[in-house]
Chains A and B, each alone.
Chain A
Amino acid sequence: MLPRRILQFLIIYVLGICALLALKYGAGLSDYVIPGPDDLWRTGTEVFRPFGLDVLNTLTVAILGQVISVVLAIFVGVAGRRATWFGSFIKVAAYNVQAYPIVALAPILFILVGDGWITRLLIAAMICYFPVLLSVLGIMSEPVEDIEHFYRVTGRLRWQLEVKIRAFENLSKLTTVISGSATLAFAGTIVAEFIAANAGIGYSIRIALYQSDLSRILAALFFIGIVLSVYQGLLEITGALVRRTWAGV
């Protein structure tokens, strides 16, 4: 699963680079617009260590952000699953927060918590949590009638059991959403670093953009792709393990 993911990413990346190089040589563009293979290689070796560390830094924040967003989404999803006043209040609050553009919220976050890693974490979590929330809300508000019926008529259906049944019945949907949300957490962290931090691969991309240095940007994309492939692969494996242990399949 994992090697296949990495291989797939490498194929996409190499195809992308080849397309860029074809454009470069086809249109006779300079290294300033599209860097040549030697420039790409030189930059790649030059930034290997710093960008490697940057992307791991970003990954750490992304993982934390994802954990927060998943926990939050499950909490909101469970609390908001019923058509009660509190349920609809929770949903409205969650939807509203998501509707605000992050760039508009960033200055408020600066004022509240400064421009360090907490801001990165919050922005990553905010970008990541909404799709997870939608899935959790969808799953949690949909009764699994053919299983719940017995527990309901015999007075055994407490909320914990209800949540457990619905989570179990939608386990592969949940694990897919959670592993898919890793991409969002990562993208969120990069956006946060771009607008609100002095560390991480997003910050390095911002500097490279200031310097119109496409080689560095391509190198950063390579690191992001590799690390994300590994992370998502690991999440998928974890999801499969959870399914195997819990569902016995």
Chain B
Amino acid sequence: MSEHHGLKGNGRALTALAIVLAVSFLPIRSSQAAEAVVYRLKWLFNVSVVGDLYADEKGLFAEKNLAVTVKEGGPERDAIKEIELGHAQFGVASADQVIRARSKGSPVVVIAQLFQVNPLQWIYRSGRVRIGNLSDLRGKTLGVTFGGNDESILRTLLAMAGLTERDVNLFSVRYDYTPFLRDRVDIWPVYRNAQGIILQDQLGAEGEETAFFNPAEYGVRFVANSVVTSEAMVRERGDMVRRFLSSLLAGWQMALEASRQPQVLEMLARFDPNLPPRVLAAQLDATRSMVRPEPNFSVGAFDAAAWRQTERIMLEQGLIPQPVGVERSLEPAFLP
């Protein structure tokens, strides 16, 4: 202080410099304060990640002092591996990925279950194909992604119906829908809330009635997308996990509120500009019914029975060598 008094002219200049410096460093200091987080999705930006996008867009992460980078997923991406390698802190993975990872010693923890109903269902032309019960699958040509979730689900359904591979025709499915569009396959696996709506719209335009074959209706509730992180994050960065998850789930809650539908659709249209608004709206409706089946349902809750069933199916099909006790990797403590 005394030095300031002693150096009056210089002191004023120094104060001015200090203010300039403080002002110029302010934004940097505040961004340094926000903790950097990478969140790896399971799939590309589309309606299936609407809540994640909305949380990011509305600055819900920033409100909790988190600088979240939301990264697209894809067939070659695996959020669990990225978390273990330190490239991401949070991610989205399906239940089968979690169970496989746990059976190989991965320290993955599930902190929320986003989809309560698995969107992986089969589309079919209801005008020509009738599926009233599982035995109706007999003799049909069934699309299946060998090695994918739908193979596990389909094999379970066939076993439940007492059918073997010889009773049906399994048709290997890839990204291209041509075989279904050309009517070479009776039922085709799709994400009911995304491609399912698009196919329904396309075929509807040609006067074809379509319906979805939902395994959950026959008691097979294979769990889909969930939010995952690592045991170390849960143990050492509990506060960050809580802040992240509350922002994320708030984003999902808000994105699925009917009152916000116009602005959510506007956001989705930016990510998927080629889809007509009516298709986007139908996709959002379908997603809502799968993530928040009841209006008062709290997004993110675990369906522990479905997780146990998923593990049992994988064990029966030899996809994991021994039980992993998947409930132990579900961590509901961070749910709001």
Given a CB threshold of 8 Å, the question of whether A touches B is answered with yes
- A residues adjacent to B (C-beta < 8 A): 27, 29-33, 35, 39, 106-107, 110-111, 115, 195-196, 198, 203, 206-213
- B residues adjacent to A (C-beta < 8 A): 75-76, 78, 80-81, 84-85, 97, 100-101, 104-108, 145-148, 172, 174-176, 178-179, 182, 319
Q: Cβ of B147 and Cβ of A33 under 8 Å apart?
A: no
CB distance from B254 to the nearest CB of A (A): 32
Q: Cβ of B81 and Cβ of A198 under 8 Å apart?
A: no
Complex formed: what's the CA distance from A195 to B175 in Å?
8
Q: Cβ of A33 and Cβ of B81 under 8 Å apart?
A: yes
Chain A facing B: main interface SS: helix
Q: Of A110, A111, A115, A210, which contacts B147 at CB under 8 A?
A: A210
Q: Cβ of A211 and Cβ of B174 under 8 Å apart?
A: no
Q: Cβ of A211 and Cβ of B104 under 8 Å apart?
A: no
CB distance from A106 to the nearest CB of B (A): 7
Q: Cβ of B146 and Cβ of A30 under 8 Å apart?
A: no
CB distance from A87 to the nearest CB of B (A): 36
Q: Which 4 residue pairs are nearest across A and B when measured between Cβ atoms? A: A207-B147, A210-B147, A31-B104, A32-B104
Q: Cβ of A35 and Cβ of B100 under 8 Å apart?
A: no
Q: Cβ of A29 and Cβ of B174 under 8 Å apart?
A: no
Complex formed: what's the CA distance from A99 to B104 in Å?
42
CB distance from B132 to the nearest CB of A (A): 30
Q: Cβ of B319 and Cβ of A198 under 8 Å apart?
A: no
Q: Of B76, B97, B107, B319, which contacts A209 at CB under 8 A?
A: B76
- CB contacts (< 8 Å) of B175 on chain A: these are 195
Complex formed: what's the CA distance from A108 to B44 in Å?
25
Query: Provided the pairs A208-B147, A209-B75, A211-B100 are in contact, do residues A30 and B178 lie with their beta carbons within 8 angstroms?
Result: no
Q: Of B101, B104, B108, B148, which contacts A210 at CB under 8 A?
A: B148
Query: Provided the pairs A33-B106, A206-B147, A207-B146 are in contact, do residues A107 and B84 lie with their beta carbons within 8 angstroms?
Result: no
Q: Cβ of A30 and Cβ of B76 under 8 Å apart?
A: no
Complex formed: what's the CA distance from A32 to B108 in Å?
10
Complex formed: what's the CA distance from A33 to B81 in Å?
6
Q: Cβ of A198 and Cβ of B146 under 8 Å apart?
A: yes
Q: Of B81, B146, B148, B319, which contacts A32 at CB under 8 A?
A: B81
Q: Cβ of A33 and Cβ of B178 under 8 Å apart?
A: no
CB distance from A229 to the nearest CB of B (A): 27
Given A30-B105, A115-B172, A212-B80, 5 other A-B contacts at CB below 8 A?
A32-B81, A32-B84, A32-B105, A207-B147, A211-B147
Query: Provided the pairs A206-B147, A211-B147, A212-B97 are in contact, do residues A32 and B176 lie with their beta carbons within 8 angstroms?
Result: no
Q: Cβ of B174 and Cβ of A32 under 8 Å apart?
A: no
Q: Cβ of B178 and Cβ of A111 under 8 Å apart?
A: yes
